[in-house]
Structure 1
Amino acid sequence: MSGRGRAWGWVAALRAGGTTPWLSWPTDGTGEGEPLGPELPGAQQLALLRRLNLHAAAAGRTVPAAIADRVLGAGVSGRGRSELALVGADEPGEPGPPGPAGSTGASGQFGPRPVDPDALADDELLRVASALVADDVAVAAAVPDPEPSLVERVRSVRRPWVRSFVVVGMPWRADAVRADLTARGHRPGGRRPTAYLLADDLETVLVQAWTARCFDQGGATWRGFVRANAGAGNLPPRADVARMARSAAYKYGAERVRVVLDDSLLAAELGVPRLGAPPRLGAHAVDLVRRVGEPLGLLVPSEDRPRLLRETLGARLDGLGGPPPSLPPRWDGWLRTQAERTRHDLAAARYPVLGDLDQLLPRPLGPDHQGSVAPVDAEVLALALGLLLDPVTATARPHAKEEA
């Protein structure tokens, strides 16, 4: 019996919605099939398709053939990554598929060893899934934004009686607040504006700094992000509220900086019913955005990546991904020290405050507290599988909503 024929039979079964593990596939010749292409798909792609079939079956659905073919033909994201060969597909002496540079192929002695797809870690499957989701997000780059309606154009015109102001501070929140205010006719800007600096308890500020980074440039995991900054005893620039206040004071004048720790007070001061908010993304959702951003950076200009991610993936994942990440207990002392320093610096600078500076301090743990939260690969993969089964499209671009 040909190992290749058995492998192709399994590929055909997966393409048709099968979920049988590779090591359980018949070895008596009944599971053989004809080649469906010049080369066998990699083990990562095969494992991902089987998991996608399981995900669809749990929802009473099947994976369309077109989506299955996308998965089987997908690349692997990540610098230096390559496809892994299927263990047992090449019998001794049988030529294997070409391996990476310096390799003699799956049956040679160089290069990655063939693997059982079901033994691959979720992280390996996410490399394939992230590249596929990035392809879908990139499609939005070629679709022009719809023309704003007459109502939207009228609402976005800056009212002459609106006070001059700008919104600064936490980037992830500030972007959403500015967009919402602009849609209401409260466009930031004007002569000698008041600078409203958005802030919150320091742990929330750190989470939003990591979130903004994931949308802008990807990079470090949540734990890596915290470890790099806390280990060095510093706050990252996007989470250093005192530094952001000094920057605003230098640009607009210290007398025109307001620290905002109560959104309702700022909404009342600007004459709007409420402030806009960014999508609510849990730890697993933000990590998926981080992963998708890497391959997306190879498909679209870097300046377009944050907007595309917000308008497609961010909107689609709103409310998903579990609770937001939180700091491991080992950094509690560092967090409190940094929060107290921030509160002291802002109080010493005598900036007017909308709210209470004590809001900067870590929030007390509630009765439902279950320890620190961090992204889990299995949960991130589950979100990615949902996006493969129901891809993000350019037709769902959100626009700022106005209350009636």
Structure 2
Amino acid sequence: MPHQDARSVQRRRRIKRVLIGVFATTVVLVDTGAAAAQAAVGNEQLAITTPPAGSTQWVADHSLGRLLPDPATADARSVAAFFASLTAAQADRLATDYPLVVGNLDGAPLPLRYRANRLAIAAERDRARARAADLQLDADTRARAEARANDSEHLLAPERQILAFDPRGRGLVSEVYGDLAQARRVAVLVPGSDADLGHFDQAVDPLRSPAGMGRALYAEEQRKAAGTPVAVIAWTGYVTPVGLGPDAVTDRLAQAAAPRLGRLLDGLSVTTDPAAPPALFCHSYGTVVCGTAAPAIHDSAPTDLVVFGSPGMGVADVADLGTGVRVWATRNPTDWIGNVPYLEVGGLGHGADPTAAAFGATRLSAAGAEGHTGYLAEGTDSLHNFADIALGDYTDVVRPVRS
């Protein structure tokens, strides 16, 4: 019997590997060939689910004569109440002593988080520079350290507002465009695979990066409604899949990401005052994250949830996403994601196509958009539609020519 059980486990593992290969190959062969498809089944990532570095010391700090809110368990309202009870000097001292904790603590005052994250980013830049200059390390390690230092340095530009920063693993970054505290309309961009510190902001083909998408949406909103205070958050607050490997065809990383997205929204509910709940714009694997998080979203008004370039949301239709969201979906005909099998088999795949009529989402035109990352390109129907939805101007939304 033990031998039979072992053989059964091995057989299931082999079947899973084959299915992963089928999902990856279906897409990759369209553009890049068999070698890339074979490589796509690697690169499994380690999800980040624990509080940032310094949290243990933070919880043990009794210097204020009281308990500090535990980053692992405290809700945003209790965090906000705690900081409201501090003097400016006390809050600044905590941000200086524990920049990674304060910078990632949803519910903490926004200006304090921005300052804390500048300290954390500068520390990471200096650490990476030291490693890059360490001749005892091999050339590849030093080159990676140099790249990390450069990526961190770019985030320290005076105009940048970094809402969250965590250097663990590939690095997590979230950035704000606009005055988040005063915004009457807030949008949150949830990116998909390959989003991390090293790919957060790209000079070449910027719409492949979360920062580029965030800036494009913010600029379009400003163009359409110059008198309305708006803000956009590019949220790379979870460990994303790398390429088209096993993580891209399962919901494991999305399951870890959904509570983190929920905490972001909870934090925004006590640190901002928009006219409507923040709208979610979810791209590629980010749509799986949003689909996983959606049933827990509840507010006085529905949350607009826009999915584009989606491989599926892990559900059969909009009813499975709960009553707290209003779902919009689009995909342009040149997007390779349309070649993904829209099904779920043994935990692989992400279910139904959100752009299919039977799914029940309101479908949007993406005319003018090209490829998997072209949805926020200037002049496209998709960018026009995204800005209108972010602004709550639903009457101007453009639907597909053919339903």
TM-score by length of 2: 0.23
TM-score by length of 1: 0.23
Bigger relative CO (Cα 8 Å, ≥ 6 apart): 1
